[in-house]
A and B are shown apart, each in its own frame.
Chain A
């Protein structure tokens, strides 16, 4: 078990290293000189060269990469070219919006998908099943940012129940902050819930045919208890796998949805940094996203050990 953990952990670090190199190279090939963008078109070549030197842009690629990576490892993510403040602070500030948003969306998606998927598996080919199939198909087919626009139109513009966007900040009150995240979280969650419902349904259907579910019934457990206590726990491995994969899409989706709802999150930060060629911010944010995804996969792998005791045995 310990050996397995160490092995997974070291492969996690190697992946991160590879990703960081990739990100750095891609950013370097990206057209547009940050110094030129910062100074505008009228800058003299001398000032430009001075700024390039100050930013360290005149050094060879490998040195710049080593300096950046060294900074990242020691927690110094550098200063933003446009804002002039430490990137670490920027990310922390934006993360306070994006992370709750992502978690909120995951919770919503699980809260919709698990009951719906289990119910449609338990009552296969019933009205519930067909309704769930229709709803999940609809969720999958409609893109999240469009759902966001629709939600704004209905709940903010027409009904006036919800703010149409913006974020008061957590110091402005927990309730109002959560309220500001509700519509964007729904917009993010629905497409995820659609996929997750279908995965849950097929996973539970498969397990329901297993002998041990019949054994549970033979013990005198009602259908419901056999379903939730025996079938569902054994159907969770594929569900968690998809949930982990969805986390990636959630972060990609956050970029769009944060723009629709005008939320000061990481997605917007990345988008703004891209338009302003704030390369250091881009590098850091993309690396941060990559790290989140890789860590999420690690957590998913760990959860398998919890969900399926047979895997624990094999790793010993």
Chain B
């Protein structure tokens, strides 16, 4: 890494105000850095706080959430900016693709106008010019007959097409950073591959950095150079995707990997991680994974393990992993 990274998340913590009163911390000590053009996968089970992380970077946390720490992006701390200034970053420098293509588009506006809107807003283009650019963008996300399709409404499109519209919207202003939150989870497998291809091609073409949030290790492996594994709002492990997938340090990452379905000839049963992600109110003492961890020792529940860097380019939160590394 040379100079300052494009995005550097430091010590990010997000807590939610509960309706019954009191606060509940969801994200704890999240941190990573991303250079221009780099790709980072964020992987974890549902409820691990992945989506909240992407919303925090966008500055679109729900009203009940408060974030502390720093999110440095292009030299500014996004957490310290007021909403007006954030509006000039959102959509223009950071684009976001959402999970649900069915609900993420406005049902009462043509897709062309929804894409053009960002251009009108940020660049001050006339609607006529912006609409023409929207057609080009639709073409870039490989929607056939883009000129006609630009005038259709979201309900007239398939899920895959809608998600491509979502990509076109996020791409409109050629942002330096693209955040994709489970972009293909709601899609059929064949459509998934196509949408990922488009996303990857466009990212390369425009040299955009990408944060891809997914529970799907396959998607992450295909798209991202580096990977962060999250659990219960904490990063459990980080490193080059290949290393994390082949030599996982954290027992949680190993569990995730074992739970990926593979072609088997012996009819073996799919491994699972026993139990489910505990609610944030019912985390065990010490390590947040200690109640489900097959490799737990007594020390694991003594204190929360710190984030540690066993070797350059890798990070892990696990005392067992560090012990093993020391040997």
Contact = CB atoms under 8 A, between A and B. Distances in A.
Chains A and B bind each other: yes
A30 to B, nearest CB: 48
Contacts of A310: 107, 153, 155
Interface string B66-88: 00000000000000000110011
A217 interface: yes
Nearest to B63: A124
Interface in A249-307: 307
A218 B84 contact: no
A12 B172 CA distance: 47
Contacts of A233: 108-109
B138 interface: no
Nearest to B103: A211
Nearest to B172: A219
Interface string B99-115: 01001111111000000
A45 interface: no
Given A218-B58, A222-B83, A313-B156, A212 B105 contact: yes
B96 interface: yes
Nearest to B152: A309
Residue among A217, A220, A307 with most chain B CB within 10 A: A220
B98 A211 contact: yes
A215 B169 contact: yes
B149 to A, nearest CB: 14
B182 to A, nearest CB: 12
A234 interface: yes
Contacts, number: 77
Contacts of B172: 219
A272 to B, nearest CB: 46
Contacts of A230: 106, 109
B131 to A, nearest CB: 15
A94 interface: no
A66 to B, nearest CB: 47
Contacts of B96: 218
A308 interface: yes
10 contacts: A211-B98, A212-B106, A214-B104, A219-B90, A220-B88, A220-B118, A221-B87, A221-B117, A222-B84, A308-B108
Interface of A: 210-212, 214-223, 225, 229-230, 233-234, 307-310, 313
Given A211-B98, A220-B122, A221-B121, 4 more contacts: A216-B106, A220-B87, A221-B87, A309-B107
